[in-house]
Structure 1
């Protein structure tokens, strides 16, 4: 960011999905304690790649919730000072072996070549990060909402999805309901 806290340049205005839509081929797996270790390994790798940047790195998504079935894809959120300064973070992550998958307004996604770790990049202060953490923390402590979410995921995963993004979008309504309850519980 510039000295006045403004991004170096305007953000992108279109959605670029490198490689185009991909069918959803993986199913749900029972929670695997190794997912936490995979996160820790990638957290270390990310912090090494982004040394010198003020970043936050958190484990998000279903693999971050003990007891919740999940696709075996570890999601990581990285908060960077200036999302538009891709030369500071995206380039460094590509050099560390990740591949660019998505570039869209307010969000970048890089992933491992094996597609088993997705790294979501957001600028500091983006409300999407708080939403990820709110959902994660609530599902970790609320057994009823955790069971509801898993039931919806099991129902949806049984369908054929030509675009894995459509599967993610289909969970939107239940996620919104759970986040609403989480906000109310948080006060």
Structure 2
């Protein structure tokens, strides 16, 4: 399990010289489409989680619906974010071929950031985030999701932030990573309140 200090710390290691998080042929998307919350998203997750479980069986230690589509009432890009925990994300041979056989495609490889990998599905649209069992990011994502589910005022603040960031990014011709950067300050402020409420920070 990750240590408390790692859960409340925002880890932003630089990309090593000469490296890229994107696999060849991949890159960030342009035009940010933030849609109204859709009850169908839960069904999309259920379908995708079933495909992951079918591919990996017990090697899928955790399969969690995270991100904005996991929060009822929250507008989101219509892309399901899933956290998948495996024993060793660096051992791609132990999970990647099986996921590829289920229609997932590797897009991101970040060994310098908790061995993070991202695979995508196009139908339903999905970003499958692969982490190890000791990654603090999995705990963070679950905490953020549950905090927004339980606090409508925080959910509404984040909704406004997302729509404003998308409008500005689209007008400027920016890509998805720049859109994420525009949300970052508010996201971290929400996290701080969630950390305090959970007793992970001293008030």
TM-score bin, normalised by smaller chain = 0.7 to 0.9
Give, in angstroms, the shift of residue 89 of structure 1.
Answer: 1.4
Give, in angstroms, the shift of residue 162 of structure 1.
Answer: 3.2
**Structure 2 counterpart of 1:5:** none
- Equivalent position SS for 1:158: helix
**Structure 2 counterpart of 1:44:** 50
Is 1:179 the counterpart of 2:188? The answer is no
Which residue of 151, 163, 181 corresponds with 1:142?
A: 151
Structure-to-structure mapping, 1:60-75, within 5 angstroms? 60-75=66-81
In structure 2, what is the Cα distance between the partners aligned to 1:90 and 1:20? 17
**Structure 2 counterpart of 1:108:** 117
- Equivalent position SS for 1:57: strand
CA RMSD of superposed structures (Å)? 1.8
**Structure 2 counterpart of 1:158:** 167
In structure 2, what is the Cα distance between the partners aligned to 1:76 and 1:54? 12
In structure 2, what is the Cα distance between the partners aligned to 1:152 and 1:24? 18
In structure 2, what is the Cα distance between the partners aligned to 1:127 and 1:22? 24
Cα gap change, 1:151 to 1:137, in 2 (>3 Å): same
- Equivalent position SS for 2:85: strand
Q: Which moves more between the two structures, 143-152 or 168-177?
A: 168-177
Q: Which moves more between the two structures, 101-110 or 16-25?
A: 16-25
- Equivalent position SS for 2:65: strand
Which consecutive unaligned segments of at least 5 residues does structure 1 have? 1-11
Indicate if the aligned counterparts of 2:32 and 2:175 stay in contact, CA closer than 8 A: no
In structure 2, what is the Cα distance between the partners aligned to 1:142 and 1:114? 31
Indicate if the aligned counterparts of 2:103 and 2:121 stay in contact, CA closer than 8 A: yes
**Corresponding residue pairs, total:** 176
Give, in angstroms, the shift of residue 169 of structure 1.
Answer: 2.4
**Structure 2 counterpart of 1:7:** none
- Equivalent position SS for 1:51: helix
Using structure 2 for the length normalisation, give the TM-score: 0.81
Cα gap change, 1:54 to 1:30, in 2 (>3 Å): closer
Give, in angstroms, the shift of residue 24 of structure 1.
Answer: 2.5
Give, in angstroms, the shift of residue 114 of structure 1.
Answer: 4.8
In structure 1, what is the Cα distance between the partners aligned to 2:28 and 2:35? 20
Residue by residue, what CA displacement relative to the aligned partner does 1:29-52 show, whole Å, maximum 9, x if unpaired?
Answer: 111010000001111100110124
Give, in angstroms, the shift of residue 92 of structure 1.
Answer: 1.5
Give, in angstroms, the shift of residue 178 of structure 1.
Answer: 0.5
Which consecutive unaligned segments of at least 5 residues does structure 2 have? 1-14
Cα gap change, 1:156 to 1:115, in 2 (>3 Å): farther
